[in-house]
Chains A and B, each alone.
Chain A
Amino acid sequence: MSVPGAWYLGLAAMLFTIGGVGLLIRRNVLIMFMCVELMLNAVNLTFVTFARMLNDIGGQVVVFFVLVVAAAEVVVGLAIIVSIFRRRTEATADDISLLKG
């Protein structure tokens, strides 16, 4: 017996919420970045679930592009974090409140 899509969507909603709460409560920029990845994965799961429910491969194509964009985003984001941390030793977002500081 196959699991109904609603269960997958509920799981994805909870995963998205955990990622969003993590983004709000953590101050370490690396962990905030991981929380963004959690939210992206939750949306990917939603897309794949809808692809199955609607019998449409388009959802999986979208997930493919999301994966590519997520990879590019991580590369650029971590490069920004590295260049910030060359000058600072603290790993919290509160210390990076100025664009030029």
Chain B
Amino acid sequence: MDWVVFVVAGAAVLAGALGVILASHPVHAALMLVLTLFGIAVLFVAQQAHFLAAVQVIVYAGAIVVLFLFVIMLLGVDKSENVTTETLRGQRPIAYLAGLGVVAAIFLLARTTWVSGAQSVAGVADGPGSNVEKLASSLFTRYILAFEVTSVLLVIAVVGAVVLARHSPSGGVRDSEQA
């Protein structure tokens, strides 16, 4: 049963990822991204990370992909791109070779070097209590400072997005856009 879930979700993840990089239309790529993100969420559930699976669906599939689609449609760049043209000669073969090299290097390293090291102080992943309880008790005690800093990060991101995307109130273009 576990293997069935893993194979199906893993196939969805890889198919979605290939769809993202091979689709010529940005909207299709965004929808393929949803497939990958759902597959990852299923794999999270299969590894007892229930809270993260829910957050994955809500934040990634629910917010980030919608934001992508929103920008694609807002900008009107939803026209197909010719994915076979090369501006840099030999870029694609070199990219594929580099990808093969990376995956080969990872698998070779995984054969010689393997998981080791001491337990961290964050707490154990199994045992009594739900996954949410354990994650929360670690997050709100050990990592409370980092958790609070993320709120600052989110505020900065919102302010930055507003500043970057707004039109100048003096009607017309800003100085930086006149060049």
Contacts of A2 in B (CB 8 A): 2
Instruction: Say yes or no: B106 contacts A13, CB within 8 Å.
Output: yes
Chain A interface residue count: which class?
35 or more
| Interface bits B55-81 vs A (CB < 8 Å: 1, else 0) | 110011001100110011011010101
Instruction: Say yes or no: A31 contacts B71, CB within 8 Å.
Output: no
Instruction: Say yes or no: A18 contacts B18, CB within 8 Å.
Output: yes
Q: Name A6-51 residues within 8 Å CB distance of B.
A: 6-11, 13-22, 24-28, 30-31, 33-35, 37-38, 41, 44-45, 48-51
| Interface bits B140-179 vs A (CB < 8 Å: 1, else 0) | 0011001000100110111011101100000000001101
Complex-state Cα separation, A101 to B55, whole angstroms: 40
Complex-state Cα separation, A24 to B95, whole angstroms: 6
Q: A1-B2, A78-B68 are in contact. Are A58 and B120 (CB under 8 A)?
A: yes
Judge whether A96 is part of the interface by a CB distance below 8 angstroms. Answer: no
Contacts of B98 in A (CB 8 A): 20-21, 24
Q: A34-B20, A74-B67, A82-B74 are in contact. Are A13 and B95 (CB under 8 A)?
A: no
Instruction: Say yes or no: A85 contacts B91, CB within 8 Å.
Output: no
Instruction: Say yes or no: A56 contacts B2, CB within 8 Å.
Output: no
How many residues belonging to B are interface residues under a CB distance threshold of 8 Å? 88
Secondary structure dominating the interface of A: helix
Q: A15-B14, A64-B139, A65-B146 are in contact. Are A38 and B36 (CB under 8 A)?
A: yes
- Give chain B's interface residues, CB within 8 Å of chain A: 2-3, 6, 10, 13-14, 17-18, 20-21, 23, 26, 29-30, 33, 36-37, 40, 43-44, 46-49, 51-52, 55-56, 59-60, 63-64, 67-68, 71-72, 74-75, 77, 79, 81, 83, 87, 91-92, 94-96, 98-100, 102-103, 106-107, 110, 115, 117, 119-126, 131, 134-135, 138-139, 142-143, 146, 150, 153-154, 156-158, 160-162, 164-165, 176-177, 179
